[in-house]
Structure 1
Amino acid sequence: MSAVWKYFSLETPQSKTARCNVCKAVIQRGGSSLASYNTTNAIKHLKKHHIKEHEDFLVGGQKDNGSRQESLLESFQKQGKLQADNVKAIGITEKLLNFIVLDDQPLSVVENPGFRSLIEHLQPRYSLPSRRYLSETALPELYSRVSNKLAEKLKGVPALSFTTDIWTSDVCPMSLISLTVHWVDSDTHSHCSAVLQVKKCRGSHNRATIAGSISEMLNHWEIPLEKVHAILRDNARNMKAAMEDLAVPNLGCFAHSLQLVVHEGLMSQRSVSDALANSRKIVGHFKHSQLAQSRLEDLQHEMQGTGTTTTPTRLVQDVQTRWNSSFYMIKSLLKEKRPLCAYAADHNLPATLSANEWGLLEKIVTVLEPFEELTRKISSATSTAADVIPAVTVLTRLLAEENSTDSGIKTMKSTLLQAVSRRFSSIESEPLYAVATLVDARYKDRFFMGEETARSAKALLTQELEKMEQALLRASADEAGATEAEPAEKVARMEAGPSTGSPPSTSKSRFSSLYDRILEEHDEPAVGTQAAVIQMQMYLKEPMMGEKDSPFQYWANNHARFPLLAAVAVKFLSAPSTSVESERLFSTASNIVDEKRNRLTAERAEMLIFLKKNLPMFK
């Protein structure tokens, strides 16, 4: 309907005349029948008698529903396809590429009939780009933009930590070596991480290949070795040797070491390993037989009671290379003990569990629960090297405690304790761990096993503070044109304010409850006279933060009071406790290089992995 009818009204649709809504004049509609009626007289009337209304009509007027009626030029433009340089087309292409990257879609999705039909319905004027354009133009351009933003963000960071790992595809002959970067933002004191690079690893994975690949990646990003605070790697010999060749500070993955500790404990006692083997056979029986699974589900429903909407628990199959999967398997068996016993009474199983073995499984769960809690804690994105020494101290105390429930698993507990002591015997003398623990306001000097190691750690921290003091003084002198810098002693003697930490939670697990007890068993630090020692003394005397509080938030609130300590914390809390980030990265790689994309080149795979992890940071 023409916009002119906003200004006129009809008595009936067949009326030969129309009445002006402005002046109430009656005009002829023109023509001799309904089919030949037109709006010429109405438009002339507006032009002659109502100039303002006529101008409104010329720019399109308003439809009855209140939306602006498009002009003839706009209507004509909508008949053609959007040009490639059109702002709207560029925006759609960018969102399309984001969809492919973030949702692990193949680049060939633009060739799928269903997807093309969807885009045609949503925006008929948009022309989908070709797969080749996305692969050779759009993807490299997006990769370049995000890379430049990440490089700019890393420029002002004084210390960087890294994790690295090697992944080999199951669907094509491709090996990739990763380098993820971790740092603490100096302004917000928040923990940040990003994928730096994923590089094709050619030839044998020996020390020279690994060291060369990491060196090339650091050079590509213009990161000098002096900025490398630590590299987290697995415990393989080739990785250790490569770090020696690079001559950079490095740490083994704490989670890998913990895996070896628990594996030793589980395999040390014949009764425990037999119970696990039988459990594995039982779970495997239901995993490989749909009939057996259906019968078990019927028993589960029956024992849950009629009318329940709870879904029966599925048994968990363990993976022998991951001890916590065995822990979850045992828990799922214990939860479904009654249905399983009822099933065994009427049907054959490849193995059964005696009453003693059921009891043994319950005790195994009790012993391994702290390990499972610790594994979850250190696998979080914010876990740092500061978590290692307190965790080992707590585990040692737990395993050394004798309980009446230890009957039947004493050998296992003893082996676990010996393995913890052996594999982590030197962590308190490792500066990367010791200093990180001290600058974490949840731990400070309370979790060292002895007074001597605590004193040594404080000496290491003092050295770092003095080095940081000299560096800050030099930087201040350079910025002020070599003018005299404010003495650090004046800064160090700033009046201490209230602690920002919150009290620990009252509801504690066995693993967490020992933290509070250990906090009470420490000596006051010695009073020093130097600026660095004064800051350290004031900091260590303050009340502790709660276990669940954030050390990064503490330094965000207190960096002005303890500038030297805050600078050291930014450096040492950048190091994670595990190389889990690299392992998670290759879970992403498995989703990208799969059966449907087994011909993807290493360069394209690197771009997709890089963007998948880093794009959300810069959106």
Structure 2
Amino acid sequence: MDKFIKRTGTVLDNENDENIPSPKRTKKEISKVWEFFKKGSNQTATCLKCGKVYKTSGNTSNLMQHLNTAHHLDSVQNNPSSLSPCMDKFLNKTKQYENGSARKAAIDKAVLKMIAKDVQPFSVVTDPGFIYLVKTLDPMYKLPSKTHMRNVTLKSEYEALRIKLQDVLNQVEHVGITTDCWTSKANEGYITVTVHFISSKFDLQSAVLSTDKLITPTSHSADTIAASLKSVLTEWDLLRKVTTIVTDNDASMVKACRNLELKHLPCFAHTINLLVQEVLKLPMVSPSISKCKRIVSFFKSSTIAYEKFKQAQGSKKAYSLVQEVPTRWNSALYMVQRILATNDHISTVLLVTPKAPQPFSAEDIFFLEDFANILEPFEHATRSISQEKNASISILIPVICELNKKMVDIKPNIKTTEGKSIFDFLTARMPERFAHYEARTVPRVATILDSRFKKDGFLSQSNADQAAKALENELFNTLSKTQHDPPTPPNPEPEKKKFTFLQQKVAVKSKSTRTDAIIALRQYLEAPNSPENVEPLEFYKTCPDSMEALKSIAKQYFCVPASSTASERIFSKAGQVISERRSSLKPNIVNKLLFLNKNSFLSDLN
């Protein structure tokens, strides 16, 4: 019976099971990885952050690995969170800004600006300290990956600033250009092009147009430079607006400008550098400079000697010594000046330190004093014409005049025979290096347009007269384009003239643009010169409407810088961008970073 009952129960149970619906199969949870990837055709998945495509047949391990390594999303797990939305809310999880929101886009832009302005690597967005700082400032903001910052945010901001700069340049009639070639730490050749112009408010503004490889990287010839430069100027629609291109004295640069049929001006700072480098190689100079470098190197390499040197000065703000840099002549001057300022302390340390170099003798110090006094005016001249905020082209010729005047004043104070030899060498070489600047139209016209100098800012009266004639021709051309015949008032009853011959002569005289140009020039030149502290752009901001023609010409000439230091400053910044840690940066990324770094003023334009 028990056996029957058991069997019957089993049968009944099976029969009942047929009428009971089977439980639903639990739906497989979707991996959180798909919040960051988009499924594509042919079993592919595209990363929503950087756009990289991966093969996948349902397995997400490689996708997870990409998120962890490329985007540092270690918190993403293939197993979905077991917490429900209510539980998440209960645990007070911080809500984050959605991708594409205005707030997140604004902060992304600010982070990129910090990277470009402070020359930080893109990997800063993965640094724990920076992440902690950002989370503390705004817990709802999540930093994008370095790949997204480089490929998306950088591109977007570059294009936006580029459009703004193009709009500004479209409203400008004349520009000055500086350019130079340089080699990066990755041993790649680049050419940088900067533009300079006068705004509608009569402010001098500068911008970087391009920092890119030469069109033919294997050749640095004049033809290659000209082709690369023409490509940049054509791209920005500036080829017909260029007043002058400023470069160094390299023959390839000069020939490139000639090939483009554009005016060329040798960088005045580079010309000074070439002259003083000749002085540093003179046989009466190089031994003393070598001794200075040797003593500085001794202190730099010995921590004990350097500490004694600081203690000997007995001051909280103790001087440090300066070492010469071969590519910059003024570093030799700074080295000598610092030695002269601390020579007593240097001698004190050297005399009590074993195996130290011999201290400077009295004759050495006398020579170094002559050396510093002779070269100081050239250092002041270099700084004067290297400014970017104020017009520098108009002071180029006056700076040369001042150099000649200071050399005359220095001569009686020279103490040593070697100093007199340096003086004689410089006074003989200065006309060969500098005289051609007074013969060039651009510096000539710019000098006479500067109300502080007018015809008084020249060494030669003949050159001053030539400058006045050139300005008169510019006024004539400008007035010919802008002047129109005045409207004739209605005269119903023609008046009978007694002297008809006079009427014809007066009519011809009133239409003479040349006469108007002569009168305008005479009125300008006969007016008192402006005080020395009045910058030329400030003068033309406030001058009367009757000088409109002069203002137009001033915009054409004052936009030209006297030196190519604007391009050279890009090299310095580029050296930080293309560092040893980031030597593999692609040229287009380098170009965009430097563009954002130097053109940040465009962000403030509406």
Q: TM-score range by the shorter chain?
A: 0.7 to 0.9
Say whether residues 1:535 and 2:545 are aligned partners: no
After superposition, residues 29-108 of structure 1 pair within 5 angstroms as 79-108=94-123
Range with greater deviation from structure 2 (446-455 or 434-443): 446-455
1:248 aligns with 2:255: no
Residue 374 (structure 2) pairs with residue 384 (structure 1): no
Residue of structure 2 aligned with 1:447, choices 449, 457, 467: 457
Counterpart CA distance in 2 for 1:587 and 1:551 is 30
Of 331, 336, 360, the match for 1:325: 331
1:373 aligned residue:
380
Q: What's the counterpart of residue 55 of structure 1? A: none
In the aligned structure 1, how far is the partner of 2:140 from the partner of 2:514?
Answer: 75
Name 1:336's counterpart in structure 2: 342
- Give the 5 Å matches for 1:248-267: 248-267=262-281
Contact 2:248–2:564 at 8 Å: present in 1 too? yes
Alignment of 1:393-472 (within 5 A): 393-401=401-409, 403-408=411-416, 409-472=419-482
CA shift at 1:474, angstroms? Answer: 7.7
Taking the aligned partners of 1:75 and 1:380, their CA distance within structure 2 comes to: 61
Q: Could you say which residue in structure 2 is the equivalent of 1:585? A: 570
SS at match of 2:455: coil
Task: Give, in angstroms, the shift of residue 179 of structure 1.
Answer: 0.7
Q: CA deviation at 1:117?
A: 2.7
Partner of 1:9: none
Q: Distance in 1 between matches of 2:126 and 2:435?
A: 58
Say if 1:541 and 1:361 are closer, same or farther in 2 by CA, change over 3 A.
same
2:103 & 2:240 partners in 1: Cα distance? Answer: 46
Structure-to-structure mapping, 1:91-490, within 5 angstroms? 91-170=106-185, 172-185=186-199, 187-201=200-214, 202-223=217-238, 225-268=239-282, 270-301=283-314, 308=315, 310-347=316-353, 348-381=355-388, 382-401=390-409, 403-408=411-416, 409-473=419-483
1:590 and 1:581 mapped to 2: Cα distance? Answer: 15
Cα separation, 1, equivalents of 2:343 and 2:460 = 44
- In 2, Cα distance between equivalents of 1:426 and 1:475: 41
| Cross-structure match for 1:558 | 543
Q: SS of the residue aligned with 1:251?
A: strand
Q: Secondary structure at the match of 2:98?
A: coil
Structure 1 residues 392, 336: closer, same or farther in 2, change over 3 A?
A: same
Q: 1:124 to 1:418 in 2, by over 3 A?
A: same
CA distance in 2, matches of 1:244, 1:219: 17
How far apart, CA to CA, are the structure 1 residues paired with 2:255 and 2:582? 34
Q: Note the alpha carbon deviations across 1:284-328, whole angstroms, 9 max, x for none.
A: 111121121112122222xxxxxx5x3210011111321211111
Relative to structure 1, is the Cα distance of residues 472 and 344 closer, same or farther in structure 2, using a 3 angstrom cutoff? same
Q: Compute the displacement of 1:529 (Å).
A: 7.3
1:546 and 2:534 equivalent? no
Question: Which structure 2 residue ranges, 5 or more long, are not aligned?
Answer: 1-88, 488-506
CA displacement at 1:427 relative to structure 2:
1.6
- Aligned to 1:545, the other structure's residue is in SS state coil
2:481 alignment partner, SS class: helix
Q: Aligned letter for 1:162?
A: I
Task: Tell me by how many angstroms 1:452 deviates.
Answer: 1.5
AA matched with 1:198: T
Q: TM-score, normalised by structure 1?
A: 0.75
Given that residues 387 and 437 in structure 1 are in contact (C-alpha distance below 8 angstroms), is that contact kept between their aligned partners in structure 2? yes
Does the Cα contact within 8 Å between 1:396 and 1:421 map onto a contact in 2? no
Q: Report how far residue 450 of structure 1 moved.
A: 2.2
Moved over 6 A (4+): 74-78, 474-477, 489-492
Rounded Cα–Cα distance in structure 2 between residues aligned with 1:490 and 1:158:
29
**Post-superposition offset of 1:118:** 2.6
- Amino acid across the alignment from 2:597: K
Report sequence identity in percent.
30
* 1:11-33 deviations in Å (ceiling 9; x for gaps): xxxxxxxxxxxxxxxxxxxxxxx
CA contact (8 A) 1:78 1:125 kept: no
Q: What's the offset of the Cα at 1:260? A: 1.5
Q: How far apart are the structure 2 equivalents of 1:442 and 1:585?
A: 32
Q: Secondary structure at the match of 2:190?
A: strand
Is the Cα–Cα contact under 8 Å of residues 283 and 317 in structure 1 kept in the other structure? yes
**2:391–2:537 Cα contact (<8 Å) kept:** no
The TM-score, its normalising length taken from structure 2, stands at 0.77
**Partner of 1:562: helix, strand, or coil?**
helix
Residue aligned with 1:166, SS: strand
Contact 2:366–2:415 (8 Å) recurs in 1:
no
**Alignment deviations for residues 158-179 of structure 1 (CA, whole Å, 9 cap, x no partner):** 1010100112112x13222111
Mapped to 2, the partners of 1:177 and 1:599 lie a distance apart of 18
- Separation of aligned partners in 2, 1:191 and 1:362: 39
Q: Alignment RMSD, CA only? A: 2.6
Distance 1:327 1:457, change over 3 A: same
> Which shifted more, 240-249 or 112-121?
112-121
Distance 1:278 1:220 in 2: 52
| Residue pair 2:180, 2:567 contacting (<8 A) in 1 also | yes
Structure 1: distance between partners of 2:330 and 2:484: 49
Alignment-mate amino acid for residue 120 of structure 1: K
Amino acid at match of 1:341: S
CA distance in 1, matches of 2:581, 2:253: 32
SS in structure 2 at match of 1:441? coil
- More moved, 120-129 vs 596-605: 120-129
**Deviation by residue 1:109-142 (Cα, 9 ceiling, x = unmatched):** 2222222233233322222212222122111110
Instruction: Measure, in 1, the Cα distance between the counterparts of 2:221 and 2:350.
Output: 51
What secondary structure does 2:591 align onto?
helix
Query: Residues 397 and 81 from structure 1, CA distance in 2 versus in 1: closer, same or farther, beyond 3 angstroms?
Result: closer
Shift of 1:403: 3.8
Cα-to-partner distance string for 1:196-216 (whole Å, 9 max, x where unaligned): 111222222111111111011
- Once residues 529 and 147 of structure 1 are traced to their aligned partners in structure 2, the CA distance between those partners, rounded to angstroms, is 42
Query: Against the structure 1 CA distance between its residues 150 and 442, is the aligned structure 2 distance closer, same or farther, given a 3 Å change threshold?
Result: same
Mean CA deviation greater in 259-268 or 531-540: 259-268
Counterpart contact for 2:351–2:359, Cα < 8 Å: no
Q: Is the deviation greater in 444-453 or in 566-575?
A: 444-453
Change beyond 3 A, Cα 1:448–1:121: closer
Supply the distance in 2 between the matched residues of 1:194 and 1:178 (Cα, whole angstroms): 11
> Quick check: 341-350 or 240-249, which moved more?
341-350
Larger Rg: 2
SS at match of 1:105: coil
Does structure 1 conserve the Cα–Cα contact (< 8 Å) formed by 2:194 and 2:206? yes
1:468 Cα offset (Å): 1.3
Partner in structure 2 of residue 499 of structure 1: none
Q: For residue 336 of structure 1, give the secondary structure of its aligned residue in structure 2.
A: helix
